[in-house]
Amino acid sequence: EAYSRLYTLYGEELNNPMIHPFLSEELLTLKELSKRPAITLRSFFDSSFRLNNFEVFKSTVNLKKRLTYSICNKAYINDFNRIRVPELNLYSFNLEEYLNNLRTLSCYLKSNRIGRKYLEYDLGPEEIVSEIMIFTNYQIAEFLEDHKITSMFRSHGFRSQSCNERAEYSVRNFGHKGLQVSSYSHFTSPIRRYGDLVLGRIVGSFLDETANPYSQEEVLNLCSFINSAADEISYQNSFE
């Protein structure tokens, strides 16, 4: 079913999920007081938010309480006004400190990636999450390269110098000109993108020290199939 759809398509009134809603909205998605298997990228930064090292491993997410964009946005807005947010006290850790560090890290990552200075008030909660996801997809691509794992990458700008060129899947890592990163993959959204689902299987098998579930030829065929299908459907993240 996921292979036949390839993406979750979002409409104004209805969505067309890549996989059955019982899986994508119940069994696989993060819900309060639930545990979900995951693959974690853990990165280590110095006091100036420069990356020292990272590791990739299998894990279990134990979600005790959801953290919504609404709460984050309220926390950031009130932080600039020096107003306390009562909702932050509902969490079992210092959420205010965590959010401030996450915002500072995201600003550094985007500044470093784009090549110009971004300040803390430049990024809202959605942009902060987007920046962390871009960083994760970049690091996973680096991980694949470092370990010479047969896989698919998300490449842009290698066929021409045009910024309007569509990003596409490839078996070689050409980098992503639009996002201004030297390596890129689709890894962070396995529920809504088939490429991410494939990559999760590949990384998972490597971590388990088992055979890659896809041969070089199969990955090449998958890249061609998804790229061709993307030309026929309207997909909101085709550039990424």
Question: What is the structure's pLDDT at 79?
Answer: 66
pLDDT the model gives residue 106? 96
pTM score:
0.91
pLDDT tens readout for residues 57-86: 999 999 999 999 988 988 887 765 556 778
Give per-residue pLDDT as tens, 96-132: 889 989 999 999 999 999 999 998 889 999 999 999 9
> Residue 237: pLDDT band by 50, 70, 90 thresholds?
very low
35, 133, 147, 165 from 199: Cα distances, Å = 22, 15, 14, 23
Backbone angles phi and psi of 163, in degrees to 5:
-75, -15
Check if the beta carbon of residue 4 is closer than 8 Å to that of residue 197.
no
pLDDT of residue 239 exceeding 70: no
* Whole-number pLDDT of residue 1: 81
> Can you give the pLDDT at residue 81?
58
Strand partners, 170: 153
